[in-house]
Structure 1
Amino acid sequence: MNIDEHLKVLALKNKKLFGFSHTMCIVLVIGLIALTLSIALPPSLTAILVGIAAFFILYHYAAYAVKKTNNRISLLETKYKDQSKGL
């Protein structure tokens, strides 16, 4: 697979990564955590724990998204370096 094809695949994956379905899955997971904790714990403790859980879920999602985006940027840099050497 050449660099152009690999870039197209990464672009497609990145579109899915930042898409509506991924965002809704994250919201549903956080909502499920909130619902589960609200049944078992007092409201103030539930709010604190849900806030912490939401922070870590969104933090790791953002880190994963940045990693995937950096892969695409690295490939673009390689492509442009190869093109400039060829000229």
Structure 2
Amino acid sequence: MTAPREETAPSEPFSLEARVRTLLDAAGLPANERELAGLVAAYTTQRPAVDGLFNVAAARYAEPVLTPDVPVRATGRAADGRPA
């Protein structure tokens, strides 16, 4: 299973507000100060929950299904007749 990208610790402290601002900037989303404060509060509770999605012991060595295994014939149709 693919693990979330490790966040490296910067040489100087990186505040939660700066992290949320960076995420918003990367997504191209604007936010005023009130919205930013709400997003920072939500980030502190949601981040551990999202990280927990990758910490499922039963699925530790499972491989994710990234593409369906559909054999395609030369006609451009799948073996069951669906368009490929």
Please classify the TM superposition score into its range, dividing by the shorter chain length.
0.3 to 0.5
Bigger radius of gyration among the two: 2
TM-score by length of 1: 0.33
